[in-house]
Amino acid sequence: MLTAILSRPHIIELKEVDVPEPSEGELLVKIKSSLTCGTDLKAFIRGHSLIPMPGPFGHEFAGIVAAKGKGVSKFKTGDAVMAVHSAPCLNCKYCKLGLFNLCESLMSTKILGAFAEYIVIPKHIVQQNVYKKPASLNFKEASFLEPLSCVLHGMEPLNINKKNTIFIIGAGPIGLLHLMIAKSKGAKVLITGLEEERLKIAAKLGADVVINTLEDGKLVHEFTDGMGADYVFECTGKPEIWESSVNYVKKSGTVILFGGCKTGSSVNFSAERLHYDEITIKGSFHFTPQDVKKAFLLLKNKKLDVKKLISDTYPLSDIINVFNMLVNGIGIKYAIVP
């Protein structure tokens, strides 16, 4: 089978390897669609601590069960499935506390390699985070299960409603997913980004205001009647934007830091602002099986028109060109169809 290997930054090699065989409890899935994402792009540009190089690449996918290991009864060969690339161990100290997204073995047991013709899903993921794809969803839409789960993890506990004003910093695929969920809950949303194409899509998705610079902070305060946003979602992963994000939230408001900064980054926040204005700053990482279930139901019930975020579809042989387009700010998400 053909698989994409991220050899080093800016270098992706396509290699022929043997089709793997599923062991006990595992599924071999023939990939019908895989999606690019911001984490993939960071790895392609500068490397990523959670994506070893050289190594398999890609983690948002959907496909058809090609074979199953002994003991798998929930799925059969030929089933169309949608999955995420990780699941908690359920046994470590964090899992015992219900903090499944912080499982001690979560990242070491995840799978990569969705930019390929086949992928093996391990037993612990099969048991917790694989779903049969509804016929109403195409494979590209089903491939949104993973990123949508990540976004829901940070948003759902906030109980966002029509009374809230939200400021989203970053109009990439993750920022736009935040926008879609916030609008589905009736909130007023302002979003900022650098690429005009993405801001036009944000407007079509229902953003109340779009701006292409953070320098004009007056627009944020005008949008929020001078109070600041109830919630600010940072979706760029840039330390300087992390630091400035607290400038746009109201007293008692919450800043969700979704975008991951480069390993070793440090940031500074105004102690006076955090203390006297009772600002909450919260990181948001990964997802739990409950988040995955919620994401599955949102997709199944067609609550979000995620296909609007797919800029185009390319074969696996064009993957290097796809990532070069993303580097140059062209497109939002691309579907790779082996």
- In contact, 148 and 299? CB cutoff 8 Å: yes
Q: What is the pLDDT of residues 218-235, one digit of tens each?
A: 788 889 999 999 999 999
Q: How confident is the model at residue 169 (pLDDT cuts 50, 70, 90)?
A: very high
Looking at residue 48, its pLDDT comes to 87
More confident residue, 218 or 246: 246
Looking at residue 50, its pLDDT comes to 86
Cα separation, 282 vs 263, in Å, equals 18
Which tokens hold the place of 220?
């944020």
Cα separation, 162 vs 253, in Å, equals 16
- In contact, 239 and 261? CB cutoff 8 Å: yes
- In contact, 255 and 178? CB cutoff 8 Å: no
Which tokens hold the place of 125?
């993921």
- pLDDT(108) > 90: yes
Which domains occur in the chain, in start order? 2-143+305-337 (3.90.180.10), 151-283 (3.40.50.720)
- pLDDT(112) > 80: yes
Looking at residue 283, its pLDDT comes to 97
Average pLDDT over residues 319-332: 95
Q: State the distance between the two ends of the chain, measured CA to CA, in whole angstroms.
A: 10
Q: How confident is the model at residue 305 (pLDDT cuts 50, 70, 90)?
A: very high
Cα separation, 199 vs 187, in Å, equals 18
Alpha helices of 224-327 — where are they, by DSSP H? 239-244, 271-276, 289-300, 319-327
Q: How confident is the model at residue 212 (pLDDT cuts 50, 70, 90)?
A: confident
- pLDDT(216) > 70: no
φ and ψ at residue 192, rounded to 5 degrees: -125, 150
Looking at residue 337, its pLDDT comes to 97
Looking at residue 215, its pLDDT comes to 66
Average pLDDT over residues 124-152: 98
Q: Which residues contact 51 (CB under 8 A, 6 or more apart)?
A: 6, 39, 40, 43, 57, 112
- In contact, 130 and 81? CB cutoff 8 Å: yes
Q: How confident is the model at residue 316 (pLDDT cuts 50, 70, 90)?
A: very high
Q: Is 235 helix (H, G, I), strand (E, B) or coil?
A: coil
Q: How confident is the model at residue 263 (pLDDT cuts 50, 70, 90)?
A: confident
Average pLDDT over residues 175-179: 98
Looking at residue 213, its pLDDT comes to 76
- pLDDT(217) > 80: no
Which tokens hold the place of 45?
């540009």
Kindly report the CA angle at 190 between 185 and 193, in degrees rounded to 5? 125
